[in-house]
Amino acid sequence: MPRKKSATLTEAELRLMDVIWEKGAATVAEVAEALPKDLGLAYNSVLTTLRILEEKGYLRHTKPEEARAFVYSAVVGRDEAGRNAVRYLVSRFFRNSPELLVLNLLEDEELSARELQRIRNLIAEEGQ
């Protein structure tokens, strides 16, 4: 039975999207070349993941007239993908409450005083 498609990006998908976002557009070979060598990803693995990303609506491909390879480009930008991930996180772990997410962040002991102050400043600006 096929796995249910997720609207969010897996770690492997995000790695490939990072390459596309950085380059603007790329062929499968260019994406594979840009990935860290220690991952050892084969061309076919990269191609399969790019096709999955296209099915999810994150990428599209074109074939330039005189080229042999498809060129993949992002349909969804990095910021929009981040917002999608946060929405998923809020719905999955915080009962659809952005407030619970923010409270969780503010209570996080690993945030620096500077990060906490920046969050508070942003919240104060929104309230004005």
**Could you state, in chain order, the average pLDDT of each consecutive group of 10 residues for the chain (128 residues)?**
66 97 97 93 96 95 90 96 93 94 84 87 85
Q: What local confidence, expressed as pLDDT, does residue 52 receive?
A: 96
pLDDT at 108: 77
What's the confidence (pLDDT) of residue 114? 92
Residue 76 has phi, psi (to 5 degrees) of -110, 125
The fold for domain 11-74 equals: Arc Repressor Mutant, subunit A (1.10.10)
How much is the pTM?
A: 0.80
Report the pLDDT value the prediction gives residue 25, as an integer from 0 to 100: 97
pLDDT tens track for 77-91:
999 999 999 999 999
pLDDT of residue 126: 83
Residue-range domain boundaries for the chain: 11-74, 97-128
Cα separation of 14 and 19, whole Å? 9
Rounded distance, CA 97 to CA 93, Å?
A: 9
